[in-house]
Amino acid sequence: MKKVYIDPGHNYSGADTGAAGFGLKEQDVTVLVAQKLKPMLKKSGFDVKMSREAITDVVATGLSASLSGRAEAANSWDADIFISIHCNAANTKAYGCETYCVSTTGNAGRLARCVQDHLPAETGRYDRGVKTANFAVLTRTSMPAILVETAFIDNFDDNKFLASDAGREKLAAAIYKGVCDYYGIKYDTESEDELMSREYEELKAKNESQDKIIGEIGIDIESSKSDINGIKERLKRYDYVDENMPSWAVPTITKLVTKGYLKGDESGKLNLTEDQLRLYTVNDRAGLYGE
Ligand SMILES: [Zn+2]
């Protein structure tokens, strides 16, 4: 399993804080990009360690200790490659992405080219190419090391890109693909859109099956309700010829009471069921009780 050490540049506070532009801080952007890059690499089977996992993390308070701390951590972990993530800043006019290495020959140079090959295409940022520099994190690390300047934080357009979650996702994807190319392995990516439409489909299917269950329960409830109402009707007793009695039964029951065929109990209650009302009414219509 290849070990990738990701170094989100700078610190939350202290001597080694980064550049800033339009209220956005480099030290925050670097972590946010790294947080997206890490799971991509892990999904492809890479072992990943980061110098800062959270925005509030501080590697060391002094500048020198902060820079050497990152390199030493990667060295002692015996990382296979080292990737430092930064944002550029200049005069507000400069824009684009570039990747640094100590030398363009050798593996660091090859890694830098692999990553830089994807950056402009993936992010739509201007291609400033692969460059060399003796940055401390590049010279003090004992494995192929690169430093990615994602975009210019003090440039309006680049800043907007860095400030967006979608932009940072694209930066992470570009670096991820570069690492995959460096190792000659296939990308295992799912674009944000693909991911969202898959999640949407899954959610939709779940909702539909829940709706179906709820619908079935609903039907059951309705039929139970009518069953209960039927039972209630059957249990209902009609004691008097009044507005509670079904109007179709009134003439017959009135006749039976008047003729003395039907008598109530001591308190005068007839205590008739609906079935009895029906039976008497049918018999009456058949002429059984006379005129
Ligand atoms: Zn920086």
Alpha-carbon torsion 37, 42, 48, 53, what sign?
positive
**CA 265 to ligand 1 center in whole angstroms:** 100
Instruction: Please state which CATH class domain 3-189 belongs to.
Output: alpha beta
Domain residue extents for the chain: 3-189, 191-229, 236-291
Structure-token match 């972590």, residue found: 31
Structure-token match 């830098």, residue found: 112
Burial level of 126, CB count in 10 A (0-12/13-18/19+)?
middle
> The whole model's pTM is what?
0.67
Alpha-carbon torsion, ordered 35, 39, 44, 45, to 10 deg: 100
Task: Pull the structure tokens for residue 64.
Answer: 């020198």
CB 115 within 8 A of CB 178: yes
**CA 198 to ligand 1 center in whole angstroms:** 36
**CA 2 to ligand 1 center in whole angstroms:** 26
DSSP 3-state assignment of 52? coil
Task: Pull the structure tokens for residue 162.
Answer: 């860095």
**CA 172 to ligand 1 center in whole angstroms:** 16
Tens of pLDDT along the chain (291 residues) come to: 999 999 999 999 998 999 999 999 999 999 999 999 999 999 999 999 999 999 999 999 999 999 999 999 999 999 999 999 999 999 999 999 999 999 999 999 999 999 999 999 999 999 999 999 999 999 999 999 999 999 999 999 999 999 999 999 999 999 999 999 999 999 987 655 666 777 778 888 888 888 887 787 777 777 888 888 888 877 888 999 898 899 999 999 999 999 888 888 888 889 998 889 999 999 899 898 888
